[in-house]
Structure 1
Amino acid sequence: MTKISAAEFEAKVLAKEEVVIKIRAPSGAKVDDYHYERKAAGNQSTTNWLEGRVRPLVNGYEVEVIGGDYATPHGRTKLETLRSSYEK
Structure 2
Amino acid sequence: MFTTCTETVSILYAIAFGAGDACVDVGAGSILAAFAAFMVLVVIAQFLARKLWAKLTQSQPHASPEPTMSENDHPFSDDPNYRDSAIRRSKR
Structure number with the higher helix fraction is 2
TM over 0.5: no
Look at both structures and tell me which one has the larger radius of gyration over its CA atoms: 2
Greater relative contact order, per chain length (Cα 8 Å cut-off, separation 6+): 1
Structure number having the greater strand percentage: 1
TM-score (norm 2): 0.18
> How high is the TM-score relative to the length of structure 1?
0.18
